[in-house]
C-alpha cells in the first residue's frame, strides 16, 4: 500500500530556532495536509496544499507542495514552547473512490524554553 | 461553527464485547471517515461514508463496521473486541470528500481500552 516517509522522527530544539520537516511518497497525491496533534487530542489542521509547487504560510508556519507531487515540507520559524507536539503530514488522492488520507508516522517536536 | 464531535471520549471494554462509537460531523459536511491511531501503526484509515454509502474501506477485518445516517451522523462498531483494538479512534469530516479543496477536519477522538 501507499506509504509516506516523514522525517525526522523527532526533534529537540531551543526556543527561537527554526524547524523543518518533510514527507516523501512513492505515489502522487493531489492534496497535502499538515496536522498537529497534542496529547489526548485529535489532529488539528495547520496547512492544506492543493497545487503542485504551492507555497502557503499560516503565521510562523510555511509549507510547500512538491513539484513532483510526491513530497511536501513544513517549516516553523522562531519556535515557541507551545509548538510542542506531534506533526503529521497526510496525502490525499482525489477522483475515483479513493477518499482517504494516508499519514506519515509523525515528527515529535520538543521545544526547550 | 461546532467542530467534529465524538462520543464517548473514553471507554473501557472487555475482550469479546462489542463497542459502538458515534460521530457528528461539522454542519454541512456530508463525508465522514474513521481512523484508528495506535503507537505502533500510527494513523490508519478505516472507512469513509458519504450520503449513507460506504465509498472506501481500509485494510481492517470485518469486525470493524460503520454506517452513516441521513443527517450525516456516523457510527462505527467493533465486534468481538481484542486487546489489539485498544486505540484512539478518530472521526473526520469534510464537505464532500475526495476532491481538491475538500479539507478534512478531525474530532478529538474516542479512547478505547480493551482489557
Q: What is the pLDDT of residues A46-72, one digit of tens each?
A: 999 989 999 999 999 999 999 999 999
Contacts for B70 with CB less than 8 Å, ≥ 6 apart: B52
Query: Which residues of A fall within a CB distance of 8 Å from B104?
Result: 33, 45, 92, 101
C-alpha to C-alpha distance for A47 and A62, rounded to whole angstroms: 8
Query: Which residues of B fall within a CB distance of 8 Å from A30?
Result: 100
CA Rg value for chain A:
14
C-alpha closest to that of A109 among A3, A4, A14, A23? A14
Work out the mean pLDDT of chain A and round it to a whole number: 91
Which pLDDT value is given to residue B104? 85
Q: Which residues of chain B have pLDDT under 50?
A: none
How far is the CA of B20 from the CAs of A42, B74, B80, in angstroms?
Answer: 19, 10, 12
* Mean pLDDT per 10-residue segment, chain A (113 residues): 85 96 93 92 92 95 96 97 96 69 94 93
C-alpha closest to that of B113 among B82, B91, B92, B90? B82
Which pLDDT value is given to residue A2? 62
Which pLDDT value is given to residue A67? 95
Which pLDDT value is given to residue A47? 94
How far is the CA of B62 from the CAs of A31, A102, B37, B47, B110, in angstroms?
Answer: 29, 21, 18, 12, 20
Answer for the pair A64, A32: CB distance below 8 angstroms, yes or no. Answer: no
Residue with cell 525526522: A8
Nearest residue in chain A measured CA to CA from B41: A105
> Which candidate from B55, B103, B108 shows the least CB-CB separation from A41?
B108
> Which candidate from A30, A98, A102 shows the least CB-CB separation from B100?
A30
Which pLDDT value is given to residue A100? 79
Query: Which residues of A fall within a CB distance of 8 Å from B31?
Result: 99
Greatest alpha-carbon span in chain B: 41
Mutation to test the A interface, candidates B23, B39, B42, most A Cβ within 10 Å = B42
Which pLDDT value is given to residue A76? 97
Which pLDDT value is given to residue A39? 85
Amino acid at each position: 500500500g501507499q506509504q509516506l516517509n516523514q522525517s525526522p522522527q523527532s526533534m529537540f530544539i531551543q526556543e527561537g530556532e527554526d524547524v523543518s520537516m518533510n514527507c516523501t511518497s512513492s505515489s502522487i497525491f493531489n492534496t497535502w495536509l499538515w496536522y498537529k496533534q497534542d496529547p489526548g487530542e485529535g489532529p488539528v489542521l495547520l496547512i492544506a496544499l492543493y497545487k503542485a509547487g504551492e507555497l502557503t504560510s499560516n503565521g510562523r508556519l510555511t509549507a510547500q507542495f512538491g513539484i513532483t507531487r510526491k513530497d511536501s515540507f513544513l517549516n516553523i520559524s522562531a519556535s515557541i514552547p507551545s509548538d510542542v507536539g506531534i506533526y503529521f503530514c497526510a496525502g490525499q488522492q482525489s477522483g475515483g473512490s479513493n477518499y482517504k488520507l494516508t499519514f506519515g508516522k509523525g515528527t515529535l517536536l520538543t521545544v526547550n524554553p | 461553527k461546532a467542530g467534529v464531535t465524538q462520543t464517548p471520549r473514553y471507554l473501557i471494554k472487555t475482550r469479546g464485547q462489542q463497542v459502538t462509537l458515534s460521530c457528528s460531523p461539522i454542519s454541512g459536511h456530508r463525508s465522514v471517515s474513521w481512523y484508528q491511531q495506535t503507537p505502533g501503526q500510527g494513523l490508519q484509515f478505516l472507512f469513509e461514508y458519504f450520503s449513507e454509502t460506504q465509498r472506501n474501506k481500509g485494510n481492517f477485518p470485518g469486525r470493524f463496521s460503520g454506517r452513516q445516517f441521513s443527517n450525516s451522523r456516523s457510527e462505527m462498531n467493533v465486534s468481538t473486541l481484542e486487546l489489539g483494538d485498544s486505540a484512539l479512534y478518530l472521526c473526520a469530516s469534510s464537505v464532500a470528500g475526495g476532491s481538491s479543496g475538500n479539507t478534512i477536519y478531525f474530532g478529538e477522538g474516542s479512547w478505547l481500552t480493551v482489557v
